[in-house]
Amino acid sequence: MFLVYRGREDARRRCGNAEPKRRRAPQPACPVACEAAIDYMRCHKFALVWMGHPLAKLRELRGTMIGTERGLWSLDGIPSPLEDRLRRADTERQAAVVRQYLSDMRKVLSEMHRILRPQGLAALVVGPTMINARRSDAATVFGQLAEAAGLRLIGSTPRLLDVTRRSLPVPQQAARQNDLAKRMIREVVLVVRKG
């Protein structure tokens, strides 16, 4: 997912005091996925505490990040076909976590719509599954979210991830039996257009 965290800016909200005439291009950062993602704050918590960051502040920051496992229990403007699919989730908590992620992505796409020039393009890199864990539904889900934000999905393509270049590579001898090796073996590149 193309997310911008420059200073205190957040891709879900208006960035600074940008004038409508001055449009900024989105800047790439790490991909964010709803399910099977690596919680970067949890992975680096001890290093950040060792460097002097207070644990309470890290917890507060982690709770505001896209993709963290916090739930949204009330409706928040995601398209009704997606909300209908969430009603079929295994548990209420799972539906709430996915609803929070989709709500955040709707806000990101709305911000992209605001800053893109007419006919401008934006590329997003997302995990292959959003709601259905068994089949790739990222293009369908993001297509509906993009349409709700005033963007149009014009293309998507899956991309295999090289297992030797992962942030947490799995030892080769244990790769077949390790659950970590099964996570995030591919991602989906989506392209949306304004107008």
pLDDT at residue number 133? 67
Q: Where are the domains of the chain?
A: 40-194
Please say whether the beta carbons of 114 and 106 come within 8 A: no
Question: pLDDT digit of tens for each residue in the chain (195 aa)?
Answer: 333 334 445 555 655 555 544 555 544 444 444 444 556 677 777 888 888 989 888 888 877 777 667 777 788 888 999 999 888 888 888 888 888 888 888 999 999 999 999 999 999 988 887 776 677 888 999 999 999 999 999 999 999 888 777 665 555 655 555 665 666 678 899 999 998
Q: List 188's β-bridge partners, or say none.
A: 126, 158
Tokens 């392209």 -> residue? 191
**Residue 98, number of CB atoms within 10 A of its CB:** 22
pLDDT at residue number 44? 77
Please list, in sequence order, all residues whose beta carbon lies within 8 angstroms of the beta carbon of residue 140, skipping any fewer than 6 positions away: none
Provide the 8-state DSSP code for 10: -
- CA atoms of 195 and 98, how far apart (whole Å): 28
Whole-angstrom CA distances from 186 to 27, 128, 173 are 22, 7, 21
pTM of the predicted model over 0.85 = no
- CA atoms of 131 and 181, how far apart (whole Å): 21
